[in-house]
Every structure is written in structure tokens, then in C-alpha cells.
Chains A and B, each alone.
Chain A
Amino acid sequence: MSAGLETQLARFTLVARVGAGSGVKATFARSAPSRKVVIAYAAGSKQASMSIAERSMQLTVADGDPADAASWRCDCPAGASQCLHAALAARGLTDEVAEGSAAVADEAPDTRFVFTNSVAPSPGMSAAAAKSSASIERVDDDAVRCEGAVVRRSEAGLSCDCPMAAASTCLHRVVVDAWARGERVANRGSAVQARAGATSRAVAEAAVKARPGEKMPVEDLARFADLRARTSAVIAELLTFGLQRTTSMTLERLDALVIAVKSAGVRDAAPRDAGLGRLLRTLERLRQVLEDFQKRLVTTTELDVMRELAIARNLLRALEANTGALPLIDFAGATQQEYEPNAVLDIQGLGLEAWTTTAGFGGVTAYVTDLRTGRVLTRTNALPSEQLEPLGSTWAEQLAANAAFAGVSTTYTELARGRYLLSGAQVASESGRLSGSGKTQLAKRPPLPSTDEKLRSATLLASGDAVRLARRLAFDALGRPPPSPPLVLVPVAKVTPTSFDRATQRLALGIITPSGVELPCVLTYRDSISLWVDNLDRLARAITPPTALLCRLRLELGGLFVEPITAHFAEGKPQHLTFARLDVPLRALVATEELQPNQPTPQGAPS
């Protein structure tokens, strides 16, 4: 597929797919310039008709799989070579419906369809209709299609062919009524209206495939019985005798258990996720927090250990119950991370983070967002500490200057701020990690400013966004990771001055959004993040605040907390706060609040 065709293809989003007895109908939408493509597949999906604007095409499957674009033949002038229509026909059968993304324009309102029924819809139905993204299409002069239903007008009022046809009203009739009154323009309207409203548009959850419930095969349950018993014994021991009595031997026992769980693997004939991958990752985290706790790291508490113990216990209980209600990946899981191929990804870099872990690793992570689904994806370059030491103090710059994918020259720094079309990319479905596979091809496109409407689904603007993002961070009893890493662009009106608590070694500041909401940021000082802490202080003193900040979110009792990672300014390149000293004009300091980075304060804190 040519780069030009990929570019065109990536601009279309599947906004609806309706199944019917006679076939399937898929609708793609493109904004700027606005275009709607409707594909009607015949039953069996070997033939399809496509309408784009005033034109229509006929497509047939020559041979092979209808989900493969190469199988489709189109009667357009492109002839035998692959065309946009064939690629869209394949995508119409396979793409996830991006609910809430660029909406299809409705037909012009027609006041003849105003619902005159005397029975008013319930408040719940009215609210559902107001939130509905269903499009309205004209069927004939007296009928319109709303989702899969046809609403017809007559002297008696509106009638619908949905299962609620006999009821006095239904969701379709309420939606059509709102459209007829011209009220849906406000609900689904322009970018400015969408930005002002509370509508949450991100669809990262939709990008993760829903899986059916499965049972773990009985022979695997028997195979894992000993490991389950050993894990239960460790949990009971830690809670009965306490963390104060743990020693290096406890860590060695956990290490042995981790190795045993890893080596159990997945049986040859078993389903791919019929392993103990999730338990393995929980035990690895438990081992890490236990070691941190023994080292008396102030950021690790007993509750961190208890969280991992609770998740491990819940996984064991789910394995024992084995009801088949959950997909295997939720409570069992492969021991190797699963990467899935993606035909085309249209990505925009959001930021870059340099980090180190107490486990002895350091690295850089580029954060990008998939513009079609709003999901945040990551690409990481990490090394063990022993290999970072020879690189000296500039290890982060050196890692960020490496090629982000095998066989291409684009670096991590470029990936973190540019816009690219990625073809052949592989993504770990669970964590959103991009693989560095040499099969990945990149085509550069003009980068988007942080205020661009296309970045709306990766931006925290309104209540709906905040609740959606916060839900991802709520406690999950099985330790399932969120469908998208908890990173978001936060528009900034003002950054409050910082305060530093010497007793707790905590730096605090607030990010005030244009709607007046203050998002708190609290960081506990450690030597390894001194640059970050220093940059946050500089950010608070910047004469011109950033237009937006890429922030990691944390959910705590008091609400959402943010950790700014990259600052986007109206002019110049984005500045990564964990990576290099923030280079912005600063307000003059009052003598008492001046930072003196070269004069260590107690425990090396900046103050």
C-alpha cells in the first residue's frame, strides 16, 4: 500500500456498523474536508456497494479473506491495483467502531418529524437521547433511519420498527424528534461547542477488544495446584507474622516462586492465555515493593505491599472458582506479553519521560496518542543501571537519540513531538506498548499543536473526561491495567507557586485549567528526580505559563492528582520536565524563595 493511500485511509474513522438480516452496513466519516462513506455488504460479505458523496462503486471479493484489503476488487478507475475503496471495505468489517469520534453529519432538520405524541419521554430516555451519537439518514420523504431502526412519520405521529414499536415512545423517536427540532446541532456540533461541553469523547476503552468469558482447562488447573498453594502460603505468612519479620530469605523465596510460575508457562495445546501471567506479574511487583519496603524507601508503604497481596489472593480465588465468566486474560494470562499487528496508526507525540527505577533500570519513554482511538501508546528504551553508568550523566539524551524503531532513523525525541503514520506497527494490547519491530514503517506528517481538535480525546477538558480518566485509575481487584496509560494533556491557564514541606520532603503546586479547576501536584523528593522537582519549580515561576501539560494522573481520596511530564508552550518545541532543564524566561525571585541548587539542604532537597 502506498504512503499516499495510507494517509488517506488513516483519515477515515468507522463511526457506525449496523448488522441486519440481509447484510452489514458500515459508515466511515472524515472531517476536514468532511466526507461520509457508506458501505453496504451483502450477506456473506462477498459483495458490497459503496457510496461516497454522489458516486457509488461495486466491490467484490475475488478470493481470500474479506477482512484483507487485497481480496477486494473495485469497479473504480483504479482497476486491478489496490484502491482506497477496497481498503475501506476491508476495514469496515474489521475496525472497532470509534464511538464518539468525528461524527457523521446528520441530514438537515425537518420539522415535519417533530414528535407530537402526548406521552412525554422519561427523563432517563431524554438524557440518553441527548448523549446519543446516532446519525440520522433520510430513507424517503416520510422516513429516516436512526441507527438500525427506521422512524416513519404519519398523520398519527411517529412510528418506529424497533422492538419498542408498540410502546408510546422509544429512543429512536426521541432522537429523531430532537433532530427535527434542530436540537441535535448543539449536542453534536462544532469543535468549539464540543470543547465547552462536558461530553467525553475518548474511546481508548473501545480500542481494546472485548473478550468472551473462558474457563481454564482442568489439566492446567491441576498443573498449577502446587504453585497456587505456595502462593497462598506466602500470603498467609506475610499477614500472620508481619513485614517486620521479613528478611532477605523472604525475597529469595519470592524469587524462587516467580521463577517457578514463569517456568510453568503455557501448555502446548492450551489456549494462549491459559497460563499464570497475571499472577507472575503480581508476584514480581510484590517482590519489588517488599524489597523497597525493606530498604525503607519513604514512597513505599505497607499498603503498597497489601495491594499486591490482595491482587494475588483474588487471582488465586478466580482460578479456583474458574466460573468461565471472565476472559482468561483477566485472571490467568500468557507469561509473554502479546503484541497485535495494527494496519495503520495515525499518531501524534505527546511527550517524553526519562526515568529510573529502584529495581536498577533507567530509560526514556516516548508517549504518543493514536488519533483515531485516543489511546495513549508508549515506546520505551531502557537499560540496566550497569549499562547506563558508562554513558555518564547524559545517558537519557543518548537513549533518546537512538532510533525508535529498527530500520528507521526517527529518534525517541522526534517520536515524542512529531506526527507520524505508522504502518505494520505492533502494539501490546494490555499495556499499549509499541514494539520496535523492523516491520514498522513511518511516514512523517505535519505535527499538531496541543490545542488541535484532533487531540481532543487525549485532552482533559471537562467533567466527563475527568470521570472517564479517573475510572481507569480506580482500584481493580484483579490488578488489570487500564486500557490506556493514565496520561492526558491538561490545558493550562495558570500554575500556582510551589511550596516545599521540609518535614515530608514534598513539593506541591497546582495546575489551574482554563475552566478554573485546580489540579494538585504533589511529588516526594528523591535524588533521582531532582531535575524534575527543579523544573516544576521553574515552571511555576515561568513568565508565560504553558498552553498545555502532558500529565500522569493519580487517583487519591482527595480526587485527581497530576504529575506534569512535558510542557507545551505557544511557541517553540515541547520541553520534557524529567529530561532537560526547563528553558523559559522566569519571574524575578523573592530572596526567601530562591532555589539554590548547588547548596544541598537537608537530604539534598531543593529549597
Chain B
Amino acid sequence: MSASVERFVATTRTALAALLGGGGVAAGSQTIAAWRSLGAQARGLGLTELGALAERLSTQLQNRGAFAHTPSQALADTTLEIFDRIEALASTLALWAVEQAFEPRQEGQSS
């Protein structure tokens, strides 16, 4: 479970970086499909709110003509909300990894 959530976090981070690099206005059909897929993955992992956000972002990107000339506040809000949640998830995973790294040694006194 932890490994699949880690992979999901890494994939979403990559997708977020790509989105910020090129901008929502430059998103192609592959990007839109990727976000839809991420939404489905999130739901599969039980992260329903994150899944809904990813799907909302996918829909917003599909209608990217609306912000060809005007910056979209809604797009920014959705993207940054996803970022907040992914970073919170990443922090939780990292804390879990820290506990795991220290606990077995304490019990086993391997050194």
C-alpha cells in the first residue's frame, strides 16, 4: 500500500511540475488524460477528495480555451489544492519511513 501511494505521489508531483512548466493553457490531450487517470488512481487508493480534484482539473484543462487570454483563478485554485494535499501526503509517508527506519533497529539492536 505504502509503495503504491509513494508511486502515486511521485507521479502526481511530476504531473504538477509539468503543468506549471508549460502552463494550463498549453495542456494537450495527453495531459488531460493523465490527470483523469490520476483521479482514478487516487480513488482507487481511497483518496476520494484528491481524486475529485484531479478530475476537476482535467475538466478545466479540457476547457482551456476559456483561459487562452485571461488567467484562470479556478485553475490555479484546483492545482494548488492538489499540491497542498500531495505535499501533506508526502510528509505523512516520509514520517512513516522515518519511524520504520528507526524502529526495527531498536528492537533488534543489530549493531
Question: Does A444 sit at the interface, judged by CB under 8 A?
Answer: no
B17 x A302 contact (CB < 8 A) = yes
Q: A239-B76, A517-B105 are in contact. Are A244 and B91 (CB under 8 A)?
A: no
Question: Does B52 sit at the interface, judged by CB under 8 A?
Answer: no
Question: Does A306 sit at the interface, judged by CB under 8 A?
Answer: yes
A466 x B101 contact (CB < 8 A) = yes
When chains A and B are docked, how far (Å) is the Cα of A303 from the Cα of B16? 8
Bin chain B's interface residue count. Answer: 35 or more
Contact for A235 among B67, B76, B95, CB less than 8 A = B76
Residues of chain A lying within 8 A (CB to CB) of residue B90: 475, 557
When chains A and B are docked, how far (Å) is the Cα of A243 from the Cα of B95? 31
Q: A475-B91, A517-B105 are in contact. Are A306 and B98 (CB under 8 A)?
A: no
0/1 per residue, A539-583, Cβ < 8 Å to B?
Answer: 000000000000000011111100000000000000000000000
B9 x A557 contact (CB < 8 A) = yes
Most chain B C-beta atoms within 10 Å of own C-beta, residue among A240, A302, A467: A240
Chain A at the B interface: mostly helix, strand, loop or mixed?
helix
User: CB-nearest residue of chain A relative to B24?
Assistant: A240
Question: Does A433 sit at the interface, judged by CB under 8 A?
Answer: no
- Selected interface stretch from A128-136, A309-317, A365-373: A309-317
0/1 per residue, B9-28, Cβ < 8 Å to A?
Answer: 11001001111111111100
Contact for A556 among B67, B94, B111, CB less than 8 A = B94
Chain B at the A interface: mostly helix, strand, loop or mixed?
helix
Residues of chain B lying within 8 A (CB to CB) of residue A515: 102, 105-106, 109, 111
B22 x A242 contact (CB < 8 A) = yes
Most chain B C-beta atoms within 10 Å of own C-beta, residue among A305, A310, A556, A560: A310
> In the complex, how many residue pairs between chain A and chain B have their CB atoms under 8 Å apart?
151
B93 x A313 contact (CB < 8 A) = no
Question: Does A326 sit at the interface, judged by CB under 8 A?
Answer: no
Q: A244-B23, A474-B91 are in contact. Are A557 and B79 (CB under 8 A)?
A: no
Residues of chain A lying within 8 A (CB to CB) of residue B21: 242-244, 302
Considering only residues 61-88 of chain B, those with a C-beta below 8 Å from chain A are 67, 71-73, 75-77, 79-80, 83-84, 87-88
0/1 per residue, A237-257, Cβ < 8 Å to B?
Answer: 111111111000000000000
Q: List 6 A-B contacts (CB under 8 A).
A: A239-B72, A240-B23, A242-B20, A310-B87, A467-B102, A516-B109
User: Would you list the 8 A-B pairs with minimal beta carbon distance, nearest first?
Assistant: A242-B23, A516-B111, A474-B91, A463-B102, A475-B87, A236-B71, A559-B97, A302-B17
